[in-house]
Amino acid sequence: MKTEIDANIQAVLDSAQFIGGPYVAELEKRLAAFAGRGYCVTCANGTDALQAAFMAAGVGNGDVVFCPDMTFVASVEPAKMLGAVPVFCDILPDTYCLSPESLERQIQAVLAEGTRTPKAVVAVDILGNPCDYDAIAPLCERYGLILIEDAAQGFGASYQGRRACSFGQIAATSFFPAKPLGCYGDGGAVFVDDSGMEALVRSLCVHGQGPGGKYDNVRVGINSRLDAIQAAVLLPKLKALEDYELDARQAVAERYRAAFAGKLVTPAVTAGGVSAWAQYALLAENGERRDRILGYLRERGIPSMVYYPKPQHALPVFQGLPRYGETYQNAMDYCARTFSLPMHPYLGEAEQKEVIAAVLEAL
């Protein structure tokens, strides 16, 4: 895609319109259509997208935001900054997504305590795998909670025929370079169906401006816009993602599954879902075996990564938060044993065989 991307970048430089402009407008239109959503508002990064989502949802002091215990800190960090209390839930042992059973236990525990207000659920499409929204969405409806989809890793995934970023009242994604749809720096987007919510998110991302323009500030907002150059990069990459990259990711994941089935715990895809395979995470027998495999891969010059070494409840920033009796057994087990291998749509079969052979030798 180099020729097209370079031409787009040069066009932005020639225009000197670095903020907003036709590339940003076209990207928002295409992203909304791809996700099957009414509106898309781009912003500076995935964390800002989540912060705008929390602000638009009215999350604030005394509210509780429920979130899976195994995710990146950004999934709930902005909620804490707004004064809300994160309450973590365990994950499912096979898909690693938010456990609906743990979520309901935590909701009921917060309600029984009676000192805080359950406000929202952040459902994270972790590692590119969509959540079980047929179970999570009814829970949100039953308890009057706002469902926010964190599709930072899940863009391109689908569940029951619907694409990621189409679930919940509001969804957020990231265009960090390592994501399934990555730009040449930072970028993010918010997805909604309601025109009033779109106007609110747009206002929040530009200093809370009102209908009168940039000096008509009607609310406290943030400064978060996607650079025109990043939009110019993302447009051809979005087409490639839809045309062939998602299929290529499935092929890479299947080769890994076939090689490691019965030797390591391979990731399961949510029933009715298609993963975007942002990462390919395996579980070793135990942490010691995992670390030996990683050491062997380093010696061979093969990249690897641990997503994520600590569950959220164990991070220093979240010490002292209420746990309501939850043990987070699945999240802790995952974090102690997980490691990820190279995963992208341009991983050739011969190159992947080298990676597989090294892991099997390590075992």
Band of the pLDDT at 26, cuts 50, 70, 90? very high
* Contact predicate 38/195, CB 8 Å: yes
| CATH code, 174 | 3.40.640.10
Report the alpha-carbon distance of residue 241 to residue 239 in Å, rounded: 5
| pLDDT tens readout for residues 73-95 | 999 999 999 999 999 999 999 99
Minimal CA–CA distance to 65: which of 109, 12, 119?
119
Q: Which residues face 68 on adjacent strands?
A: 89
Q: Parallel, antiparallel, or unpaired: how do β-strands 117-124 and 63-68 relate?
A: parallel
Average pLDDT over residues 271-293: 98
Provide the CATH number for the domain around residue 330.
3.90.1150.10
Instruction: Specify if 348 maps to a domain.
Output: yes
Residue range(s) defining the domain that contains residue 121 = 2-235
Asked if 27 and 95 sit in the same domain, the reply is: yes
Token code pair at residue 121: 């659920």
- Per the CB < 8 A criterion, the answer to whether 47 and 189 are in contact is no
Task: Note the pLDDT tens digit of each residue in 158-208.
Answer: 999 999 999 999 999 999 999 999 999 999 999 999 999 999 999 999 999
Residues in the chain: 363
Among 203, 235, 267, the domain boundary falls at: 235
The two structure tokens encoding residue 79: 């909620």
pLDDT interval class at 347 (50, 70, 90)? very high
- Distance from C-alpha of 56 to C-alpha of 59, rounded to nearest angstrom: 8
Domain boundary among 207, 235, 263: 235
Q: What is the pLDDT of residues 111-135, one digit of tens each?
A: 999 999 999 999 999 999 999 999 9
